[in-house]
């Protein structure tokens, strides 16, 4: 994650674009390979129940091959309470996180936020119209001010 930290602090010109990084693992995603397909519900609430943390691996973690230095991530025991299918026990008993499906959860959370934002914008427009109508009815001169 050190690379991500360095990139996020870099000052890039507006015309610059970051390189596209392809994931190393691919998952079969063809519709013909799936059944019991259901929409994700409450994606935003689910994501908000997760907790991102900054941390360093201790000696036991480094002995397992985890890198030194500050990292960003989640605690497996916390994740397990929210999305248990993301957490597995390694042969040595330590918990590991595999967040397959995170992208789908994130997309649906963004969709929920977009819907809420659209609804709020609509309500705001209605309120502005109402205020304008009330002000005009009270004193038309206030509208031009």
Domain ranges for the chain: 2-12+39-144
87 class by beta-carbon count within 10 Å (0-12 exposed, 13-18 middle, 19+ buried): buried
C-alpha closest to that of 44 among 109, 103, 108: 109
Using DSSP, state whether 53 is helix, strand or coil. Answer: strand
Highest mean pLDDT among 15-24, 124-133, 135-144: 124-133
Q: Could you report the per-residue pLDDT of 11-60, keeping only the tens digit for each? A: 555 555 555 555 567 778 899 989 999 999 999 999 999 999 999 999 99
How far apart CA 140 and CA 132 sit, in angstroms, is: 10
How far apart CA 126 and CA 119 sit, in angstroms, is: 11
pTM of the model: 0.68
Residue with tokens 């390189």, as numbered in its chain: 19
DSSP 20: P
Length of the chain: 145
Q: Among the listed ranges 2-11, 60-69, 107-116, 119-128, which one has the minimum average pLDDT value?
A: 2-11
Instruction: Please state the φ and ψ torsions of residue 26, each to the nearest 5 degrees.
Output: -115, 150
């Amino acid at each position: 994650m050190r690379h991500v930290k360095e990139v996020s602090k870099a000052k890039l010109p507006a015309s610059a674009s970051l390189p596209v990084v392809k994931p190393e693992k691919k998952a079969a995603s063809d519709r013909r390979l799936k059944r019991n397909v259901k929409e994700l519900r409450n994606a935003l609430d689910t994501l908000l129940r997760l907790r991102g943390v900054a941390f360093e691996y201790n000696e036991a973690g480094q002995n397992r091959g985890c890198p030194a230095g500050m990292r960003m991530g989640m605690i497996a025991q916390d994740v397990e309470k929210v999305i248990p299918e993301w957490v597995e026990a390694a042969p040595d008993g330590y918990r590991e996180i595999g967040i397959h499906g995170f992208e789908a959860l994130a997309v649906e959370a963004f969709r929920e936020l977009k819907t809420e934002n659209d609804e709020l914008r609509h309500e705001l427009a209605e309120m502005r119209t109402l205020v304008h109508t009330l002000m005009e009815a009270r004193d038309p001169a206030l509208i031009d001010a």
